[in-house]
Amino acid sequence: MSVRKLKPITPGQRFRVVNGFDAITADKPEKSLLAPLKKSGGRNSQGKMTVRHRGGGHKRRYRIIDFKRDKQDVAAEVKSIQYDPNRTAFIALLQYKDGEKRYVVAQNGLQVGQKVSSGVKAAPEIGNALPLSEIPLGTIISCIELRPGQGAVMARSAGTFAQLMAKDGKFVTVKLPSGETRMVLANCLATIGAVSNSDHQLLVSGKAGRSRWLGRRPRTRPVAMNPVDHPMGGGEGRASGGHPRSKNGIPAKGFRTRSKTKDTTRYIIERRKK
């Protein structure tokens, strides 16, 4: 894992920091695991804009990722580590003994030629997926299920990891990347190791155009708007704009938006840090 600072031969390269991609071992994706990816531009099925600042961007194809790791007790060999334009983490191409190929989210330290497996019998080694009940306490884990068989939903982005803190009956206690400590069913799967590409947070795009390549459109500062357009708009000269809040009037900076009647609150031992 490394980053590179470019020698600036254009203004856009002056502060740019790029990924070294030294973990990547293949240029071309596996054709059988590609799917088309249609852009919505932030519009819903009625054509109404529900998310602002989306649109344009380079054309992508979706890599079908195996988040369920349901091919259990069958060894697979890591054929390559690849870049995925749809996520911050790198992905690994696995080939099972029967010839089937699957993509999984790559963990830090996963090497080409390494053997990985999933299931109760798998060893607690990097890249293996096990039920939480079979993982030793204190282990660094990622790609965690919230419900058995659902597929990984937590700790999937670049450099993230959780830690297994305790076991109690049919539940285990997990400390999540957000700082939240919560109980998860012990028969949920998790993968050993932290997610790859931990240097992602060090990257600097260098110019506004790179945001456009990623499909992000310009954002107008709310303080620069009129009162009709935003709660923080209006005022003479450089007015502060009032209390920070969203376009819908929901306060920012510390306001809790989680429903007080949400059923799963009983599984949360400690809320995430503000």
- The answer on 150 and 233 residing in a single domain is no
> Across all residues in the chain, what is the average pLDDT?
95
Asked whether residue 151 is assigned to any structural domain, the reply reads yes
Write the CB contacts of 217 (distance below 8 Å, at least 6 apart in sequence).
52, 53, 54, 55, 56
Mean pLDDT, range 206-231, rounded to an integer: 94
**pTM of the predicted model, to two decimals?**
0.93
Q: Kindly tell me if the per-residue pLDDT of 101 is higher than 80.
A: yes
- Residue range 187-211, pLDDT digits in tens: 999 999 999 999 999 999 999 999 9
- Residue range 48-71, pLDDT digits in tens: 999 999 999 999 999 999 999 999
How many domains is the chain built from? 2
Chain centroid, CA 147 distance in Å? 18
DSSP 195: B
- The answer on 147 and 33 residing in a single domain is yes
| Spatial distance between the Cα atoms of 119 and 110, rounded to a whole number of angstroms | 18
| CB of 94 closer than 8 Å to CB of 78 | yes
Domain boundary among 154, 173, 201: 201
Asked whether residue 48 is assigned to any structural domain, the reply reads no
Asked whether residue 210 is assigned to any structural domain, the reply reads no
β strands within the chain, DSSP E: 3-5, 17-19, 34-36, 61-63, 76-82, 91-96, 101-105, 115-116, 129-131, 140-142, 162-168, 171-175, 181-185, 189-192, 268-270
Domain interval for residue 102: 3-43+54-201
- The answer on 161 and 234 residing in a single domain is no
| Lowest-pLDDT choice from 26-35, 172-181, 219-228 | 219-228
Which pLDDT score, from 0 to 100, does residue 76 have?
A: 97
Mean pLDDT, range 17-30, rounded to an integer: 94
| Spatial distance between the Cα atoms of 269 and 255, rounded to a whole number of angstroms | 20
Which pLDDT score, from 0 to 100, does residue 241 have?
A: 74
Mean pLDDT, range 180-184, rounded to an integer: 97
Which pLDDT score, from 0 to 100, does residue 1 have?
A: 65
